[in-house]
Each structure stands twice: as C-alpha cells, then as structure tokens.
Structure 1
Amino acid sequence: MLWGSLIAIILISGSLFFVYRQYHLNKKTLLSLRKTQRQLIIAEKMASLGELTAGIAHEIQNPLNFVNNFSEVNTELIEDLKSERSKQKSERDEQLEDELLNDIAENENKITHHGKRADAIVKGMLQHSRSGSGAKEQTNINALADEYFRLSYHGLRAKDNLFNAAMKTDFDETIGDINIIPQDIGRVLLNLYNNAFYAVNDKKKQAGNNFGPIVSVSTKKLGDKVEIKVSDNGNGIPQKIVDKIFQPFFTTKPTGQGTGLGLSLSYDIIKAHGGEIKVGSKEGEGTTFTIQLTAN
C-alpha cells in the first residue's frame, strides 16, 4: 500500500513538473514569437517607408520650387519698388507702387501656402516612420487618400521612369473628417496603392502598348460608415488564392520583392479600427479592395 502511494506521488510530481516545464517553454516560445512579430512589423513599416522615399522627394520638390521661384520674383519686385520710391515724389507712380505691393503680398501668401505644404509632407513622413501605433485623431480621409496615392505613384516612377498609369479619383466631399490613426490608415492605403501599381505595371510589361494601366481610388459616405475603394485593371488575383492574400507571409511577388506582411498588417489595422477590408477580383480584368470604417 505504501509503495503504491509513493509511486502515485512520484507519478503526480513528475506530471506536475512536466506541465510546469511545458508551461515555461511555451511562455518562452510565445515571447520569442511576439518579439519576432514586432521585428517583422517594424521591418514592414521600414520597407513601406522606403517605398515612400522617392515619392516624398518628388512631392516635396514641387512646393520648394514654388517657394524658390516666388522668393526670386519678390526680390525683383522689391527692387522695382525701391527704384520707384527713390524718385522725386512728383515723378513717382503711386498706382504702380500699389500694384507692386499687392504682387509682393500675393507672392508671400503663395510662399506660406507651399511652405506649409512641404511641412505637411515632412510631418506625414515622420508619422509614417513611427514605430508606435499613435493616437486616433480627426482626419480628412480624402486628403489622406489623395496624398498617399500620389506618393505611391511617384515612388514607383522613381524606380521605373518608363512606367505610367492613369490615376483616377472620386472623393465624396460630404464625408468630412473621421476619427482614425492617420499614419496607420495611410500605411494601409500605401500598401494597396503599391500593389495596384505593381499589378498594372506587371500587366503592361506583358501586354505592351495595347494596354492602358488605370488605378483609381474613391470614397463614399454610407450612413455611419465611410467606404474607400482602391481598384486596378491589372491581371487580377487567381480565385484559388484570393482567400489567402490576408494571411501572414503570403505573397505572389517574386522572392525579394515582398515581405508577405503588407496585406496581413493592413487587415489587422482595419480590424483594430473596427472596420472591414474585402477584396474582389477577376482574372484578366483587375482587382478592387474595399475598406469600410466608422464615420465618427
């Protein structure tokens, strides 16, 4: 009887030790997986930031050119004004002076406008590069969608200057601002745009000049929801894999051209916002991604 009790105690102790050991091993494995996941997410964010860099360089150059040009014009206008005011009072043309002052003031307003535009682009880049999720804030979704649309396009153009595509927008101006984390939703849009431009560029290489690449984005208010659609007329996604595209590490791009995390992270971001993201695709005709977010 005593031996039986001892054996039972030993067996129970062994089982408890095994369970305890497995618990700690599983916990260690889970922590390791979470660490790897965080590293992969950061890598994906940095990869998308790299995609943005060329587009940002192009976009920021435009307002800087305006600032430089209007500054040079104002320098000339100020010299003209000084020259006019150096004359005897009886010889001065007051109407010309007023016109010069008005032109200078108008150009100063333009310099301020384009300076703020450059500032907004830089701030957007800094937001995008942050490793944290950030906080929700009232955001003009149309402006955000348009901004990342152009950045994505110019980013691809910088890598392949032969590439061209028609960019179509259809924004519902009744939407106004919505409460989102702008850098996260911007990251989602950038990923969808990059994929769309990649798809039409791939088809263009196959079809040649007979194909006209088109990528479009639209927004629409649907009651208490906001719908965003990103469409392309590329080759589409084969039906047998369309259900897998939101899975981590799944990609149809060649090795080295995609992490396979873009759509997976996009799905997680939209879900974290309480929204939905769906895909509709037809082989040979194109793909449409539809996002729905709460309007308030």
Structure 2
Amino acid sequence: MSLEPFLAVFVITQFRKNLKNDGLVEKWNKYLNIGYFIAIGIFFFDVSFSAHKVALVFAHLYFLGVVIAPYYIDELKSSKQLAFALIPYAVAGLISDILEKWFPTFYDNHENTIQSLVIFSLIWAFSLWMINRKQSKALENERRQRFAEQEQNRMMAAMKVNLESEVRERTAELTKQTEELQLALSELKSTQAQLIQSEKMASLGELTAGIAHEIQNPLNFVNNFSEVSIELLEELKEEILDKLPDDVKEEADDIISDITQNLSKINQHGKRADAIVKGMLQHSRATTGKKEPTDINALADEYLRLSYHGLRAKDKSFNAGMKTSFDPELGKIEAIPQDLGRVLLNLFNNSFYSVTEKKKSLAEGYEPTVTVNTQKIKSASGANMVQITVEDNGTGIPQKVLDKIYQPFFTTKPTGQGTGLGLSMSYDIITKGHGGELKVETAEGQFARFIITLPTGNVEAA
C-alpha cells in the first residue's frame, strides 16, 4: 500500500488553507474536492484490485502532479514552499517503487543507496515543511497584527471623525454663544450709555435751570430798562431838546444819539444772551419721554411742513421747494418722538436757511430745494436699520469747519442768527439717546446732506 494518496490529501488540505488566507477558497473549492475524491479513489483501487503496480505508479504520478501544481497555477503560488519540500520525495519515491517492482535485481544491488535517497528526501520534506509552517505562523501572526493595527487605525479614524464632528458642533455652539454674549454686551453698553447720558442731562438740566433762573432776572432788567431808556431818550429828544439854547442843542443831540445807539446795542446783545440761555436749557434738558413705536414717515412729513410754515410766518418772502421720498414699507421703530422731532426740525431749519442764503447771492434760475428720504437698510452685522436723509442744494458746509459742526456754541451763521446748539443737541439725541448715527456729506457751494441711521429696536420695520 502506497502513502502517496494520504500525502496528496495532506497537500490538498494545505492548498485549501492557503487559498482561504488569500480569499480564493470558494473559487477552488470544487477542484479541491475533486482532488480529495481522486486520492481516495486511488487508495481504494490500490487495496481492492490485483493491479498493484499500475495503482502504485498512478498514485506516485498523481502525487507528483499535485505537488508541482503551484509552479503552473498562479493562484497556488503561496504553496510553492510546500511543493519545493515534497518534489524530491515524490520523485525519489516514484523511482524507488519503479525500480523495486520492475527492476528488482538493480534495486537489490543499490537498495541502500535508493533507501538513503528516499529517507533523505523525506527528511528534507519534513524539515522544509516545519520551517515553512513556522514561517507561515510568523506570517499569520504578522498578518493578524497588521489586521489588528488596521482595525485599530480604522477605529481611531472613526473616533477622529466623531471627535472632529463634536469639536465642530461645540465650536459652532461656542461661536453662537459668543455672538449672543457680544450682542448682549453691545446692548448693555448702549443701555448704559443712554442711562449715563440721561443722568448727565438730568444733572446738567438741574444745574442750568438754576443758572438760567439767576441770569434771566437781571437779563430781563437789562433788556427792559434798555428799551425803556431808549423810549425816554426819544421823548427827551422830541420834547426837551428844542428848548435848549442853540449853542448846546447840537452837542446834546449828539450825546443823546450816542446813548440811544449804545442802549440799542445793549438791547440787541441782551436778546442774544437770552437766546443762548434758552438754547442751553433746551440742549441740556433731560427728556422725560419714553421710547415708543414711532412712524418715521409721518414724523418727518409733519416736522418738514412745520419748519416750512414757521419760516414763512417769520418771512413772507421765504419760498423753497420740498421733495419727499418715504419708504411705504418702513413701518414703525422704537424712538422718542419729541426728541427725534427736535432733531428733524433743526435739520430742516438749517436746510431752509442754507437754500435761502444761496438764493440771495444767485441770479434767476436757481431753485432752492430741500429733499427728505427714508428707507430700510441693513447694518454691517445684519440688523434692521432705518435711514433718514435730509439734503439741500444750498451753500454747503466749508471743509475747514466740518469737524466742528457738532461742538456746542459753534455756528456758521452770522452773529445773532444761531446759537450753535442745534447740531450739538441733535448729535447727542441721535447717538446717545437712540444709539444711532448722524453723518454729514457736503460740497461747499453745492449741497449738504445729513444722514440719520437709527436701529429699529424691539419694533421691527414692516
């Protein structure tokens, strides 16, 4: 009985194991099973029939064919080491059995040599098989370790992705919280500034009210007695001067005229001082009004017409064109209507004054015009804002004084026609009282444009 069928089964089993590691066992499973059946068939053929020599040769050839298969089939190349170990034994066993069965005399004469060759090939096969097994185990361990590392890397990559996602979510949450805190801080600072301004204005109002009360009484005496003195001098000139001798009449007339002129100047500057005191009271007065939903379009239209008709009542020759462009979707905003009306009235009065002065110096063809626009805009941070533009084609503002126009008591109007408190008061009301912005754009001799930007507050524009 030959060992080759059993060895063939062993080799095919090793093929199956290597193919399984390479992921090819399903493709070759059918052929491996056929190999098992052939080996089993050779075994039964060897033990069941009398043709022992034929079965023996066939078993050797089949085993040799199985062993050399990795050299011809690429998908079995991982088993080349096993084939390299068993080929010498397969060849030596085949030669030994052929010589023993068909050439007994030659075999008997060289039996020791032939058996030594077979034993050596068997030792060679066993040694290489053990080495190959050890290497296979090392490779398997390395493969498992590499797979474990890959699995660990995959898990780490998945954890990294999850951590990055969590970091992004946390960062977005922190960014949102930071923005909310910054917005709350900005609102807090704005409220704080408004409260400080209100307290300052209240304190200043109390102080100036006391000062004005003390100044107003002597100032009234100065104005009243100057007017009365002028009237008395007029009576003196009309009734008593003619009764004086001619040699002193002319001299007395000159003295009376000088005194009258001086009293007129005193009266003029007294009234100027009275206007300044009233302007100071208006500028420093702390508003008692609260913010409420305010229709900006209606407010601007009302104070534009109030300014125009007020100037017409003072000067019948006054005339100017008015253009309005009100955004119908503007809606209402939170504001103090009385204070905002004072600002608009001051800007309209300045614009009408500017176009009137320009008309005096120009010939026919100039049409004095004051234009008022309102519109919704977005701030840099995306907040809803309302913009009011007051523009005139008057004398404009000289560049050299542009930085001073918001200073208290600074005015570009002639002496006696302005207190220099209108724009200063307007700037404080817009910036400190409403948290808005007041800007000016101008070209001397061409135009002046004042731009008011106000937040809508809790009442959103429509």
Q: TM-score, normalised by structure 2?
A: 0.38
| Contact map agreement 2:208 2:280 (CA 8 A) in 1 | no
Structure 2: gaps of 5 or more residues: 1-202, 213-274, 379-383, 458-462
Q: Does 1:269 align with 2:429?
A: yes
User: In the alignment, which of 311, 316, 332 is matched to residue 156 of structure 1?
Assistant: 311
Q: Residue type of the partner of 2:314? A: K
1:284 counterpart SS class: coil
Aligned to 1:108: none
Q: Structure 2 CA distance, aligned partners of 1:192 and 1:186?
A: 10
| Contact map agreement 1:140 1:177 (CA 8 A) in 2 | yes
Q: TM-score, normalised by structure 1?
A: 0.58
User: In the alignment, which of 281, 289, 292 is matched to residue 450 of structure 2?
Assistant: 289
Q: Residue type of the partner of 2:325? A: D
Aligned to 1:144: 299
Matched pairs, number? 185
Q: Give 1 or 2 for the bigger CA radius of gyration.
A: 2
TM-fit CA distance, 1:160: 1.4
Aligned to 1:204: 359
Aligned to 1:36: 208
Q: Does 1:220 align with 2:455?
A: no
- Residue deviations 1:109-149, cap 9 Å, x none? xxxxxxxxxxxxxxxxxxxxx97341111010000000000
TM-fit CA distance, 1:268: 0.3
| Contact map agreement 2:209 2:281 (CA 8 A) in 1 | no
RCO greater where, 1 or 2, for CA within 8 Å and sep 6 or more? 1
2:311 counterpart SS class: helix
User: In the alignment, which of 399, 405, 411 is matched to residue 239 of structure 1?
Assistant: 399
Structure 1: gaps of 5 or more residues: 1-30, 49-129
User: In the alignment, which of 377, 402, 410 is matched to residue 250 of structure 1?
Assistant: 410
TM-fit CA distance, 1:201: 0.3
| Contact map agreement 1:133 1:181 (CA 8 A) in 2 | no
Q: Structure 2 CA distance, aligned partners of 1:152 and 1:45?
A: 21
Aligned to 2:225: none
Distance 1:156 1:229, change over 3 A: same
Q: Does 1:259 align with 2:419?
A: yes
How does 1:1-296 map onto structure 2 within 5 Å?
Answer: 35-36=207-208, 43-44=278-279, 132-223=287-378, 224-271=384-431, 272-296=433-457
| Contact map agreement 2:287 2:339 (CA 8 A) in 1 | no
TM-fit CA distance, 1:259: 1.0
When the two chains are superposed, the root-mean-square deviation of aligned CA atoms in Å is 2.6
After the TM superposition, list the runs of 4 or more consecutive aligned residues in structure 1 that deviate by more than 6 angstroms: 31-34, 45-48
Distance 1:34 1:179, change over 3 A: same
Q: Structure 2 CA distance, aligned partners of 1:171 and 1:270?
A: 20
| Contact map agreement 2:398 2:444 (CA 8 A) in 1 | yes
Distance 1:270 1:285, change over 3 A: same
Distance 1:33 1:176, change over 3 A: closer
| Contact map agreement 1:142 1:219 (CA 8 A) in 2 | yes
Higher percent of residues as strand: 1
Q: Structure 2 CA distance, aligned partners of 1:295 and 1:204?
A: 38
| Contact map agreement 2:205 2:281 (CA 8 A) in 1 | no
Distance 1:197 1:46, change over 3 A: farther
Q: Structure 2 CA distance, aligned partners of 1:165 and 1:141?
A: 23
Q: Structure 1 CA distance, aligned partners of 2:397 and 2:404?
A: 10
Distance 1:221 1:211, change over 3 A: same
- Residue deviations 1:169-216, cap 9 Å, x none? 000111111100000000000000000000000001111322110001
Q: Residue type of the partner of 1:287? A: A
1:208 counterpart SS class: coil
TM-fit CA distance, 1:42: 7.8
Q: Residue type of the partner of 2:278? A: A
Q: Structure 2 CA distance, aligned partners of 1:33 and 1:162?
A: 38
TM-fit CA distance, 1:37: 8.2
Aligned to 2:233: none
Distance 1:47 1:253, change over 3 A: farther
